[in-house]
Structure 1
Amino acid sequence: MKRSWRRLLVPAVATVFFVSGAGIASAEVLDGTQVASLAEAPATEAASEPTRKRVVARVDLSDQTMHVYVDERLEHVFTISSGRGSYRTPTGRWNAEWLSPRHRSRKYNNAPMPWSVFYYRGYAVHGTTDLKRLGQPASHGCIRLHPDNAELFYKLVKSNGKQNTLISVVR
């Protein structure tokens, strides 16, 4: 049986798809001609992103605490300082917007704000050096934490993503 060039070329093309395709390739013979097909490759564990968890920080201004939930499980309870006097901490719900591990306030005399997680119009959850005032309103509106707790929260947000972090502030 004599083969035409066309019939010889199709199997060669199929072989090229099989070798260089991005997905899983298979070849079958239809009417004496080898035909290749490409299917979407399933995601492998090595190629997939690490599993991200949902982080929720519920700040209660009335008792000066922050409850941190990871995938709906309470993981931490931190004592905070919120806004004092006319420097009220706004209430509401926001996603984390940006992170700054060694931030300093341009507005308040270059005050250190370590492990800052910014969430709304310049307000942030961050560490403080004024540890004796934790547990009572003392800030210009931000949520202050012990620096070790601020670092822990910062790293939770960074590893799970700002879009997966909700900061809820209630009175």
Structure 2
Amino acid sequence: MRIRFALAALLFGFFPATDAFAAKVEVLIDLSEQRMMVEVGGENRYSWLVSTARRGYRTPIGLFHPVRLERMWFSTRYDLSPMPYSIFFRGGYAIHGTNEIGKLGRPVSHGCVRLHPANARRLFELVRLYGKGAAEITIRP
């Protein structure tokens, strides 16, 4: 009984009643600005440049939830291009890191949302920490 009480006290000490794990991770991607904003628990955390679909391709618009997370993925459609820290949100569409960091801020992708690899890792870890069900991805024109 003492062990359970000690364990409960430890857990509640680390995870107070305003449990951070109940918070949402909200990702807003603005295609016209080529920018991603990230909120955690209603608090603005990050604003990053992205690259989305270039002419002839499209990045889907709407509200999505992460479907699958892959720490490292290689595109089966585009020459096995590396897609580190992939957060798939609709079919083959994902938010992921890119080696082409000089092109961030311009629409150059085949439809995915590209981020600096360090930012992709931060977002990936946030979604892993809070859970796919607590993450929303909104993409607007």
Give the alignment's TM-score, normalised by structure 1: 0.71
Match of 1:67 in 2: 37
Change (3 A) 1:87 1:45: farther
Larger radius of gyration: 1
Give unmatched runs, 5+ long, in structure 1. Answer: 1-43
Q: Which amino acid aligns with 1:120?
A: R
State the distance in 2 between where 1:92 and 1:160 align: 21
% identical aligned pairs: 37
Greater relative contact order structure (CA < 8 Å, 6+ sep): 2
Aligned-partner Cα distance in 2 for 1:75–1:83: 25
Q: Normalising by the residue count of structure 2, what TM-score does the alignment of the two structures yield? A: 0.86
1:159 aligns with 2:102: no
Structure with the larger helix share: 2
In structure 1, distance between residues paired with 2:42 and 2:66: 17
Deviations 1:108-165 (A, max 9, x none): 1100000001111111110000111100001000000000000000000000000000
**Counterpart of 1:111?**
81
How large is the Cα RMSD of the aligned pairs? Answer: 1.7
Aligned length: 129
Amino acid at match of 1:90: P
Corresponding position of 2:69:
99
1:82 alignment partner in structure 2: 52
Q: Distance in 1 between matches of 2:9 and 2:59?
A: 43
Q: What is the aligned partner in structure 1 of residue 109 from structure 2?
A: 139
CA deviation vs aligned residue, 1:30-55 (integer Å, no higher than 9, x gap): xxxxxxxxxxxxxx46578x531200
- Runs in 1 of length 4+ with deviation above 2 angstroms? 44-48
**Which whole-Å CA distance do the structure 1 matches of 2:132 and 2:9 have between them?**
23
